[in-house]
């Protein structure tokens, strides 16, 4: 009988799809999709009241970004074990090539539709063409010793890269948002619209010219919600927020967010993988995070069929101590969370 119920549940899940599209009904309180039956999630109990120490194991992978014109090409940062570079991987041929040796052990990356790739190590910002040529530093104002530039994001046509920026001299960390125009090598702070972008860390710029942003949810009892700024007129719109404050939105800086190519859905990580249909004001959890498995950087393929995500697998080698070991790997899955598997065969 239990087996029959399991089969029926699987058929129901396949029939409904559980994807992030207008027919989805997995919200507003997210739950694990019925098709994800792997028992990979578990919690760890400390042997004392002091919590866990964390260590990493093996080579680490982060910042997956698809070629905007080719769903078979993926960019990522690989580091650790003496490796520190940015690579491009062909999903069809399984071939890897080095784009550039990295400038830092911690990078933020974006791949623009004009063929340029932006790299930020939180201190400097670089551009390089997708064939590896033309590598150069973007000249930005410095407020030594604490200035910093963060996540680069290309506009829809790939000619402008925006990035949060801040530093000393009375400017809060990431207190400004700068725009670098590639064609004429100019910086634009958009002073007349500064209040819309400053003191924020927008994380993704959609093909419909919308920039994601944490927005105060004035119509609810408290908190911050997932929203966006329409970059054509700088109007703001709230996409989703719980009545009691949106906890995931409060930690946007430590998670990742990505638009699908159509620009009508947002995908957020930071433990779970959550999808937000743009015009439905609900959330759909397509993958559950836990202490033994959680998700960070995310990329959506340009054909809106595939997700590649940095998945952190956590294990406890020795039950007698409080050390948890993390592996940062890239996993690939369908856009609705099905068929999750490691990206690389090796």
Q: What is the 3-state secondary structure (H, E, C) of 260-299?
A: CCCCCEEEECCECEEEEECCCCCCEEEECCECCEEEEEEE
Q: What is the pLDDT at residue 285?
A: 84
The tokens describing 1, both together, are 């009988």
Mean pLDDT of the chain: 80
> What CATH code is carried by the domain that includes residue 250?
2.120.10.30
pLDDT above 50 (res 6): no
Q: Which of 13-17, 99-103, 117-121, 239-243 has the highest mean pLDDT?
A: 117-121
The pTM assigned to this predicted structure is 0.85
Query: Residues 165-176: pLDDT tens digits?
Result: 776 554 555 667
Residue 65 domain-assigned (yes or no): yes
- Higher local confidence (pLDDT), 320 or 96: 96
Provide the percentage of residues in the chain whose pLDDT is more than 90: 38
Q: What is the pLDDT at residue 218?
A: 66
In order of 83, 216, 222, 331, 340, the CA distances from 243 in angstroms are 45, 12, 7, 33, 32
Q: What is the pLDDT at residue 168?
A: 52
Residue 25 domain-assigned (yes or no): no
- Mean pLDDT is lowest, of 49-53, 73-77, 143-147, for 143-147
Residue 193 domain-assigned (yes or no): yes
Q: Considering only CA atoms, which of 134, 115, 117, 113 is closest in space to residue 125?
A: 117
Residue 116 domain-assigned (yes or no): yes
Query: Residues 14-43: pLDDT tens digits?
Result: 434 445 644 444 444 444 454 455 567 777
pLDDT above 90 (res 305): yes
Q: How confident is the model at residue 234 (pLDDT cuts 50, 70, 90)?
A: confident
Q: Which domain holds residue 232?
A: 33-342
Q: What is the β-pairing status of strands 136-137 and 53-56?
A: unpaired
Residue 6 domain-assigned (yes or no): no
SS percent in the chain: helix, strand, coil, step 5: 10, 40, 50
Q: What is the pLDDT at residue 302?
A: 96
pLDDT above 50 (res 11): no
The H or E element that residue 67 is part of is strand 60-67
For residue 202, give the 3-state DSSP assignment. coil
Q: What is the pLDDT at residue 122?
A: 81
Residue 27 domain-assigned (yes or no): no
Residue 205 domain-assigned (yes or no): yes
C-beta neighbour count of 79 within 10 angstroms: 19
26/317 Cα distance (integer angstroms): 36
- Mean pLDDT is lowest, of 128-137, 217-226, 232-241, for 217-226
Residue 176 domain-assigned (yes or no): yes
Q: What is the β-pairing status of strands 136-137 and 125-129?
A: antiparallel
Query: Residues 235-250: pLDDT tens digits?
Result: 888 888 765 544 444 4
φ and ψ at 8, to 5 degrees? -60, -40
Q: What is the pLDDT at residue 170?
A: 47
Mean predicted confidence (pLDDT) in 253-260? 77
332/335 Cα distance (integer angstroms): 9
Give the count of domains, the chain.
1
pLDDT above 90 (res 212): no
């Amino acid at each position: 009988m239990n087996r029959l119920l399991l089969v029926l549940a699987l058929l129901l899940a396949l029939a409904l799809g559980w994807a992030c599209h207008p027919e989805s009904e997995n919200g507003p309180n997210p739950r694990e999709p019925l098709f994800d039956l792997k028992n990979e999630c578990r919690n760890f109990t400390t042997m004392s009241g002091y919590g866990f120490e964390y260590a990493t194991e093996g080579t680490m992978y982060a910042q997956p970004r698809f070629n905007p014109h080719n769903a078979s090409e993926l960019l990522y940062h690989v580091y650790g074990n003496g490796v520190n570079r940015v690579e491009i991987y062909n999903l069809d041929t399984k071939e890897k090539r080095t784009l550039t040796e990295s400038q830092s052990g911690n990078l933020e990356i974006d791949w623009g539709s004009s063929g340029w790739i932006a790299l930020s190590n939180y201190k400097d910002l670089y551009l390089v063409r997708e064939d590896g040529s033309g590598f150069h530093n973007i000249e930005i104002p410095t407020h030594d010793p604490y200035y910093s530039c963060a996540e680069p994001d290309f506009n829809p046509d790939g000619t402008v890269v925006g990035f949060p920026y801040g530093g000393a001299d009375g400017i809060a960390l990431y207190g400004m948002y700068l725009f670098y125009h590639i064609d004429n090598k100019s910086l634009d702070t958009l002073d007349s619209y500064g209040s819309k972008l400053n003191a924020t860390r927008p994380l993704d710029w959609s093909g419909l010219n919308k920039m994601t942003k944490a927005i105060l949810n004035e119509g609810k009892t408290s908190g911050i919600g997932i929203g966006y700024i329409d970059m054509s007129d700088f109007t703001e719109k709230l996409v989703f927020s719980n009545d009691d404050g949106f906890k995931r939105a409060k930690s946007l800086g430590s998670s990742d967010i990505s638009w699908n190519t159509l620009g009508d859905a947002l995908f957020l990580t930071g433990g779970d993988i959550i999808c937000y249909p743009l015009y439905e004001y609900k959330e759909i959890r397509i993958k559950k995070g836990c202490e033994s498995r959680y998700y960070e950087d995310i990329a959506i393929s340009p054909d809106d069929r595939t997700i590649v995500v940095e998945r952190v697998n956590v294990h406890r080698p020795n039950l007698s101590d409080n050390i948890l070991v993390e592996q940062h790997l890239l996993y690939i899955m369908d856009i609705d969370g099905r068929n999750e598997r490691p990206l690389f065969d090796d």
